[in-house]
C-alpha cells in the first residue's frame, strides 16, 4: 500500500474484475478498505453485480467498460478512478484470454488474440497505470503457473504469453523502484472458475494437494501484495497452484 495507506481515499483498479478471480480480488480489496474500480469487456451485468455487492457492504466502487487492447479505453478507466474514487494506490491487471491448440494447427487469429490481450494488453495497462500510481503504490499482474511449466501439449502459445509477463514485471519493478512502487506477478494454477467447470476432479488428480484453488485464495495473495507488509517484495512471480508445477 502507498505512503497514504491509512488514507480513506485510497483507490484500486482491477482490470478484468467482473467474474472469477478478478471479482474475488475486487471484493477483497474493498474489504481491505480500498475504493475499487473494476473493468469489464462485455459482462456489464456481472460487473454491476460485483459493484453493487461492494456498495451494499458500505464500500465504494465503480464498474467501467474497457477493452485492455484499446489504449484510449485503458487510460479512460484510469482517469475514472481519479475522477470518481481518488488517487490510485493499487493497479491489478487480471484481464486475459485463453486458447488451446497444438502449435501445428494453432489458428493465426487465436495466436494474435492471445498476444494482443495477454501481452500487449498488459503492457498498455502497465503503461497507463505508471503515471497515475502514487509513490509507494502497488502494481500486480495475474499471470499463470504455465509460465514455469506448460503441462499441456496444446498450451504452448498461452504459456508463451504468460512467460512474457514475468519479464515485463521484472523490468518494470526496476523502473519504478525509485518511487517505491512494487511490481509483482501472481501465477495461479487451476482455480474454480467457469473456465474449469466440469474439470475440477480431473485437475485435482494432478495436483499434490489434491484439489484446485479458490478465487478467494488468489485474492488473499493479492491483498498481501497490496499491503504495507509486502513493501520489500518486488519483481517477483509468486506461484500459487497447490504444488502443480513441482
The Cα 241–Cα 238 span in angstroms is 10
DSSP 8-state class, residue 191: B
CA dist list (Å): 16 to 41, 155, 190, 205: 7, 22, 18, 29
Among this protein's residues, is 158 annotated catalytic? Answer: yes
The dihedral over CA atoms of 229, 231, 236, 237, expressed in degrees to the nearest 10, equals 40
Q: Given 15, 34, 40, 158, which residue is catalytic?
A: 158
The Cα 6–Cα 8 span in angstroms is 6
DSSP 8-state class, residue 194: G
CA dist list (Å): 198 to 83, 147, 207, 214, 221: 42, 24, 16, 15, 25
Number of H helices, E strands in the chain: 8, 7
Task: Tell me which residues are annotated as active site.
Answer: 158
Amino acid at each position: 500500500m502507498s505512503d497514504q495507506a491509512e488514507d480513506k481515499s485510497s483507490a484500486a483498479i482491477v482490470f478484468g474484475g467482473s467474474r472469477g478471480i478478478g471479482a474475488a480480488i475486487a471484493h477483497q480489496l474493498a474489504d481491505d478498505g480500498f475504493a475499487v474500480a473494476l473493468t469489464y469487456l462485455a459482462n456489464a451485468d456481472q460487473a454491476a453485480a460485483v459493484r453493487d455487492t461492494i456498495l451494499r457492504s458500505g464500500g465504494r466502487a465503480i464498474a467501467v467498460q474497457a477493452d485492455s487492447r484499446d489504449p484510449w479505453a485503458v487510460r479512460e478507466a484510469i482517469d475514472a478512478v481519479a475522477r470518481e474514487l481518488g488517487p490510485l494506490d493499487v493497479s491489478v491487471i487480471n484481464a486475459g484470454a485463453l486458447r488451446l491448440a497444438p502449435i501445428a494447427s494453432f489458428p493465426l487469429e487465436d495466436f494474435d488474440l492471445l498476444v494482443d490481450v495477454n501481452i500487449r494488453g498488459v503492457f498498455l495497462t502497465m503503461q497507463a497505470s505508471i503515471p497515475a500510481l502514487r509513490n509507494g503504490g502497488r502494481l500486480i499482474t495475474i499471470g499463470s503457473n504455465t509460465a514455469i511449466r506448460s503441462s499441456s501439449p496444446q498450451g504452448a502459445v498461452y504459456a508463451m504469453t504468460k512467460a512474457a509477463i514475468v519479464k515485463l514485471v521484472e523490468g518494470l519493478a526496476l523502473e519504478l523502484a525509485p518511487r517505491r512502487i512494487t511490481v509483482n506477478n501472481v501465477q495461479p494454477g487451476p482455480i474454480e472458475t467457469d473456465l474449469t467447470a466440469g474439470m475440477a476432479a480431473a485437475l485435482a488428480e494432478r495436483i499434490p494437494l489434491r484439489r484446485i484453488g479458490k478465487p478467494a485464495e488468489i485474492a488473499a495473495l493479492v491483498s498481501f501484495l497490496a499491503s504495507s507488509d509486502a513493501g520489500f517484495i518486488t519483481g517477483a512471480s509468486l506461484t500459487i497452484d497447490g504444488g502443480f508445477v513441482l
